[in-house]
Amino acid sequence: MSDGAREGGEVSVLLVDDDPLVRQALALMLGGQPDLRVVGEAENGREALARVRDLRPQVVLMDIRMPVMDGLEATRALHADDRAVPPPRVVVLTTFDADEYVVGAVAAGADGFLMKDTAPTDLIAAVRRVAAGEPMMSPSATATLVRRVREEAAAQGPNRQAEAEAALAGLTEREREVAVAVGRGLSNAEIGAELFLSVPTVKAHVSRLFDKLGATNRVQIAMVVHDAGLL
């Protein structure tokens, strides 16, 4: 299939991990779901880039520590690759939740960060949620990210807040409301219910927020809103 996207409502997934046993376990787990379809595998980031161009998956489950090209570099490359437009949603799946990996994944444009010991039901739910455009972070990764944001905000003082306020100044009133709702962690459906908007309209607003704020995922939008003191 040329676009590797949905067929009959299925979400297409590419598995990227240098451990074949991990790939096999993930394939068995996801392959048993009627709405998920594993379209391919890759054993390093460089191979993943080629597979994404060929298979056009909606979601990539990406390991971090791999030979040839690691997961963070591959995620950055996917968002910069004109041949992979639009880029797939990336969920970083790793055994490491060190600060540099969590922050690095978000900065690279990952839409999710999960530990490999995540319960199968939670991992499956995460793939579905990320495919629908919602972020998914493990509790430990969320705590790490919040701590790092607070530390950086304290270190940079008023300059960081001023920069965030300047970025938000270019938004319309409605876009600002949506940005704050994203910062609160609400899903598109929840934002729509709260602001009396349809889900497609919310998605359109979020898409414009990506462009105006230079963000590649919802977590980055939330960080700007947080820095501006709106949460």
The count of C-alpha atoms lying within 13 angstroms of the C-alpha of 106, restricted to the half-sphere facing its C-beta, is: 24
The pLDDT of residue 177: 95
Full domain range(s) for residue 169: 157-227
**Is 2 part of a structural domain of the chain?**
no
| CATH number of 210's domain | 1.10.10.10
Q: What is the dihedral of CA 183, 189, 191, 192, to 10 degrees?
A: 160
Domains contained in the chain, number: 2
Within 8 A by CB and 6+ apart from 123, the residues are 29, 93, 114
**Each residue of 124-149: pLDDT tens digit?**
998 998 898 777 777 666 666 666 66
**CA separation for the pair 109, 174 (Å, rounded):** 25
**Each residue of 175-209: pLDDT tens digit?**
999 999 988 878 888 899 999 999 999 999 999 99
The residue ranges of the chain whose pLDDT is under 50 are 1-8
Asked if residue 136 and residue 101 are part of one domain, the reply reads yes
**CA separation for the pair 191, 157 (Å, rounded):** 31
Contact 127, 36 (CB under 8 A): yes
Asked if residue 178 and residue 122 are part of one domain, the reply reads no
* Listed residues 77, 112, 144: the one ending a domain: 144
* Listed residues 91, 111, 144: the one ending a domain: 144
Asked if residue 181 and residue 134 are part of one domain, the reply reads no
* Listed residues 90, 116, 144: the one ending a domain: 144
Task: Give CA separation, 154 vs 46, 141, 142, 165, 219, in Å.
Answer: 37, 20, 18, 16, 19
The pLDDT of residue 2: 34
Alpha helices in 13-64 (DSSP H): 20-31, 45-55
